[in-house]
Amino acid sequence: MFISSIQAKDFRFLSESLFDIYSTQGEEESTLLLNYNFQINKCETYPYFRSINPETEGNFILAKNLKASFRKISHCVEKNEFHPFVFNTLNELYHILQSDQIKTLTCNYGVTHSYFAVASDPETIQQRPGLPSHPSVLFDTNRMAGNFRVHMDEEDIKNTLLFFGARLNRQDIIPGMPHPFRKRIGNPTSLVFHEMFHWTGHSHYPKDNLDIVYLTQFCCFSHSEHSSQQKERACELLRDKSAWQKDLSQRKAYIKRNLLHKEVQSLIDAYHNQ
Ligand SMILES: [Zn+2]
């Protein structure tokens, strides 16, 4: 209880003070500087590349989502008696967020395509192309919008037609324009949190643990793809003493016996609408 009340207050404070320092710089004010050395850079098209909304306010929309994500985590920590492992990981994130390190959130469109966004990894020196030095996130606003790839050659178009069969005509495929069967990402604030949580070094499909990044995202944020029971189940798993116990072999046995990796995967698949 002691740990949880501290963290809730801390994340709330981050949210409330994020805009205490802010300025813009660069050509056409392409960079937004916020408190705690947050830099939002080139995100004019955030959250959705070629959306029908004017694409001039993207940096500010991302800054507001960032602020909202801290607030959400604060509420979530207040409400849930998470396992100490989960609290400690959130605490690690908090220390990165409030530190003097420069944290860069940047955007591009059509760079990753298989991902909505990518986060830097604390262990990797050479980050992925387009990613500023750690800690950073690169959002692909074309992917987030659910558009066709920006760059498609004849081979890509052929494969897309094969995949969707008779549901799609050749003339429907316009690179970088909305895909009739893909949805835009519904909750960009939740994606912002998800990516930053990777800064703690946790990645997906861990063998010896449950996926703390997805579970915390699913528990603390709402998604139209999940029922309220699924959301609550994610929270329950984060509170489960046996699922996060220190003893590795007992923990693995518990996860295996209860088919928890499979259960988490079904939550992930639902989120990605598969
Ligand atoms: Zn991820």
Tokens of 194: 């998800």
In this structure, what DSSP letter does residue 147 have?
B
Residues linked to residue 117 through DSSP beta bridges, in sequence order:
139
Beta-ladder partners of 135:
none
Asked if 17 and 35 count as a contact pair (C-beta separation under 8 A), the reply is yes
Q: Where are the domains of the chain?
A: 2-147+182-207
pLDDT of residue 91: 95
Q: What percent of the chain has pLDDT over 70?
A: 96
Q: What's the pLDDT at 54? A: 63
Beta strands at 38-41 and 31-34: parallel, antiparallel or unpaired: antiparallel
Tell me the CA–centroid distance for residue 203 and ligand 1, in Å.
Answer: 7
Question: Taking Cα atoms as reference points, which of 14, 53, 56 lies closest to residue 35?
Answer: 14
What is the average pLDDT across 189-198? 98
CA 141 to ligand 1 center in whole angstroms: 16
Instruction: Tell whether the model's pLDDT for residue 188 goes beyond 70.
Output: yes
CA of 53 to the centre of ligand 1 (A): 27
* Sequence-distant contacts of 243-246: CB under 8 A, at least 24 apart: 243/83, 243/210, 244/83, 244/84, 244/85, 244/86, 244/209, 244/210
CA of 197 to the centre of ligand 1 (A): 8
**Ligand 1 centre from 10 Cα, in Å?**
24
Q: What is the C-alpha to C-alpha distance for residues 257 and 264, in angstroms, rounded to an integer?
A: 14
259: helix, strand or coil = coil
> Which pLDDT score, from 0 to 100, does residue 254 have?
98
CA of 167 to the centre of ligand 1 (A): 30
Higher pLDDT, 232 or 51: 232
pLDDT at 22 over 60: yes
Ligand 1 centre distance from Cα of residue 87 (Å) = 19
pLDDT band at 7 (very low <50, low <70, confident <90, very high): confident
State the burial class of residue 126 (Cβ atoms within 10 Å of its Cβ: 0-12, 13-18, 19+).
exposed
Cα(239) to centroid of ligand 1, in Å? 21
Inter-CA distances, 74 with 6, 32, 159, 221, 237, Å: 10, 24, 44, 11, 19
- Ligand 1 centroid to Cα of residue 159, in Å, is 26
Q: How far apart are CA 136 and CA 42, in angstroms?
A: 13
- 53 pLDDT exceeds 70? no
Q: What is the pLDDT of residue 2?
A: 53
Strands (E), 72-221: 103-108, 117-119, 136-140
What's the CA-to-centroid distance between 218 and ligand 1, angstroms?
12
Pairwise CA distance, residues 240 & 190, whole Å = 23
**What is the arithmetic mean of pLDDT over 190-203?**
97
Span 216-239, average pLDDT: 97
Task: Compute, in angstroms, the gap from residue 60 CA to the centroid of ligand 1.
Answer: 23
pLDDT digit string (tens) for 117-169?
A: 999 999 887 778 889 999 999 999 999 999 998 888 999 899 989 988 888 99
Average model confidence (pLDDT) across the chain: 92
Say which DSSP state 31 is in. Answer: E
